[in-house]
Amino acid sequence: MPDPLTVTLTTLLVASHNAGKIAEMRDLCGPLGIEVTSAAELGLPEPEETGDTFEANAATKALAAARASGLIALSDDSGLVVDALVGAPGVYTADWATLPEGGRDFGIAMQKVEDALKARGALEESQRTGRFVSVLCLATPEGDTSFYRGEAEGVLVWPPRGTLGFGYDPVFRPDGHTRTFGEMPAEEKHGWKPGQATALSHRARAFKLFAEQRLGVAAT
């Protein structure tokens, strides 16, 4: 009998309006033979993210998309957690980029993080540690939810380096690497496929857990 927790998916609805995230999910789903569509592509509304945890906001987004579409949906709530800033910007990472007139500017957002670090005198690498966090939530239209969390440890660098990736990638250098996420090709930042024992990015690590715990992919 198949594991009752295992779902078979040919198409996955990614409950996101962020083109960078959706592209990464599409890359992660490709080797599993799963097609990706997204809340953005289906024109689903963007729910308000009022929670104070990644899990709460991930649940809000996945449940809204699953209920609106009648499909199983996978959301990602993510952010940058900086130790010297006592966890900020955290769940408010997207808000730090939001402009008063609407839209987002990540150049300004990265500068705000840098200004906050400088204001606390955090100039040495050892004072500039943090992590990217990604919490994925799988939700059914009936309201069932399950969560998968991935984290990538690193340091905040200045000035920003690289034009690849999205969001705060140019200021985040993962531990054990000399380049920032913004300088890494897609495959290196978030690549993962079944049988691969490790993944680098927070999203790829969370996706690995999701694939192994819910899609019946053998754990490595």
Ligand X SMILES: O=P(O)(O)OP(=O)(O)OP(=O)(O)OC[C@H]1O[C@@H](n2cnc3c(O)ncnc32)[C@H](O)[C@@H]1O
Whose CB is nearest to Mg ion?
94
16 binds ligand X (CB under 6 A): yes
As annotated, the binding site includes 16-21, 48, 77-78, 166-169, 189, 202-203
Edge-to-edge, what's the strand order for the sheet holding 11-14? 35-38, 11-14, 73-82, 129-139, 145-156, 172-174
38 binds ligand X (CB under 6 A): no
Q: How is residue 9 written in tokens?
A: 């998916």
Nearest to ligand X of 205, 214 (CB atom): 205
60 binds ligand X (CB under 6 A): no
Active site residue 77: yes
**Cα distance between residue 65 and residue 41, in whole Å:** 12
Give the interface segment with ligand X, choosing from 75-83, 110-118, 123-131, 204-212 (CB under 6 A).
75-83
Per partner kind, with CB cut-offs from 5 to 8 A, the member of ligand X, Mg ion, none near residue 166 is ligand X
Binder among 62, 68, 150, 169 for ligand X (CB under 6 A): 169
Burial class (CB in 10 A: 0-12, 13-18, 19+), 187: exposed
CA angle (41, 67, 191) in 5-degree steps? 50
Binder among 32, 166, 193, 212 for ligand X (CB under 6 A): 166
Which residues of this protein are in contact with ligand X, per CB under 6 A? 16-18, 21, 49, 61, 76-79, 93-94, 97, 132, 165-169, 181, 201, 203
Active site residues: 77
